[in-house]
Amino acid sequence: MPDYIDRPWGDGRFPPLYCPPTPRVDDALAEEVNKRLVVWAEETGIYPDRIDKFRDTGFGRLATLAHPDSDDPDMILISAMLNAGWWASDDYFADETSLGANPDETPGQLALVMSAMDPPPPAGEHTAPLERAITSSPVLMALRSATEYLTGRASRAQVMRVCNITSQMYVSWNAYVAWRRSGRLPSAWRYLGARQHDSFYTSMTLIDIVGGYELPPDLFADRRFHHALMRAGTASVIVNDLHSLAREAADELPDSNLALLIAADRGCPLDDAIVACVELHNQFVRDFEASCRDLADEPCPELHRFLRGARDWMGGGFEWHSTSPRYQQ
């Protein structure tokens, strides 16, 4: 199997996306992970009136596609839970007005997310109301539950890595909310500056955890590795922007989307902006390839396994976006 191929997408009108092939399709494993995930969603209370839609969206299938180096449903469930929790916070707190997302309330809700995932020490009389706020929110309880599940299967450094990078992601979300609230679109460069810190990089931080190993923290922090993983994460999130375009443009409060912003910046037809997004995606993937070559001499098997995992995540993420009902018009 080649490492990278040109993959048609959407209705085929636009140039293909240069992307890794889908590394593994295991429908039985994906169904098992998704079944466990739906039980968890029902227990935490997220999407109570949309549980069938949640089941069909298939976050368990996403995790199975994206983590082909594990065939353990208990480990793959780590990724499924956290990704589902992150998506729920996006839907309920930031994006979906039909689910009650209100830009005036989003920053405060996101701050509570971090207290749910990374509980602060007791603060006297102020702790009880914080706990009541968390336990009254299904989204916050889902993220707390997912983090507790993670904690039982990852090192302390890996857990803190996930919490800190989640917090970093939410900084970008607050920027999106400010732009939506003001009614003024940001320039594409400003959006992309935030989006590169709010990409599937966050999801990819789980690669070694799901795989049952640990990349040494000093290598995870190596600037060359960091940029490699950010490139993979940004390429994957451009795939998300392309597949989300029609849905996000139709929202009562349109979300920032790279194609819409490029079209506004350039004053060009949307189709031309979509082509520009494809070109940018393909450049990010080629830059990821170059980053991997730059790291080829590093004598760390875990590093190279993690980079293969990022490549596989891109391929699996593309497959999921191309087939999940969430992104089908």
Percent of the chain with pLDDT over 90: 85
Confidence tier at 172 by pLDDT (50, 70, 90): very high
| Count of C-beta atoms within a 10 Å radius of residue 231 | 25
Residue matched to tokens 């935030």:
194
- In angstroms, rounded to a whole number, what is the distance separating the alpha carbons of residues 26 and 35? 14
State the Cα torsion 196-310-8-55 to the nearest 10°: -90
pLDDT at 317: 98
Residue matched to tokens 């989307």:
257
pLDDT at 254: 60
Q: Is the pLDDT of residue 214 over 70?
A: yes
- In angstroms, rounded to a whole number, what is the distance separating the alpha carbons of residues 5 and 275? 18
Q: Is the pLDDT of residue 329 over 60?
A: no
Average pLDDT, the chain: 94
Q: Is the pLDDT of residue 23 over 60?
A: yes
Residue 232 in contact with residue 204, Cβ under 8 Å? yes
Number of H helices, E strands in the chain: 16, 2
- The residue-averaged pLDDT of 204-215 equals 98
Q: Is the pLDDT of residue 312 over 90?
A: yes
Is the pLDDT higher at 259 or at 256?
259
Hey, which bits of the chain come out as E strands? Answer: 5-7, 17-19
SS3 content of the chain, % helix, strand, coil (to 5): 70, 0, 30
Percent of the chain with pLDDT over 70: 97
- In angstroms, rounded to a whole number, what is the distance separating the alpha carbons of residues 41 and 51? 8
pLDDT digits (tens, 9 = 90+) for 137-154: 999 999 999 999 999 999
Partners of residue 16 on adjacent β-strands? none
- The residue-averaged pLDDT of 143-171 equals 97
pLDDT digits (tens, 9 = 90+) for 62-120: 999 999 999 999 999 999 999 999 999 988 888 776 777 788 888 899 999 999 999 99
Partners of residue 6 on adjacent β-strands? 18
Confidence tier at 255 by pLDDT (50, 70, 90): low
Partners of residue 17 on adjacent β-strands? 7
- In angstroms, rounded to a whole number, what is the distance separating the alpha carbons of residues 40 and 145? 9
Looking at residue 14, which CATH number applies to its domain? 1.10.600.10
- The residue-averaged pLDDT of 53-63 equals 96
Residue 34 in contact with residue 49, Cβ under 8 Å? no
C-alpha distances out from residue 57 to 18, 35, 87, Å: 25, 12, 11
Ramachandran angles phi, psi of 38, nearest 5°: -65, -40
The pair of structure tokens assigned to 283 is 């450049």
Ramachandran angles phi, psi of 256, nearest 5°: -70, 135
- The residue-averaged pLDDT of 21-41 equals 98
pLDDT at 249: 67
Q: Is the pLDDT of residue 225 over 70?
A: yes
Identify the domain containing residue 94 by its residue range. 5-327
- The residue-averaged pLDDT of 168-183 equals 88
pLDDT at 151: 98
pLDDT at 247: 73
| Count of domains observed in the chain | 1
Q: Is the pLDDT of residue 286 over 70?
A: yes
The pair of structure tokens assigned to 253 is 């409060």
Confidence tier at 321 by pLDDT (50, 70, 90): very high
**pTM to 2 decimal places:** 0.95
Residue 194 in contact with residue 176, Cβ under 8 Å? yes
Residue matched to tokens 């390839």:
289
pLDDT at 91: 87
Report how far Cα 88 is from the mean position of its chain's Cα atoms: 11
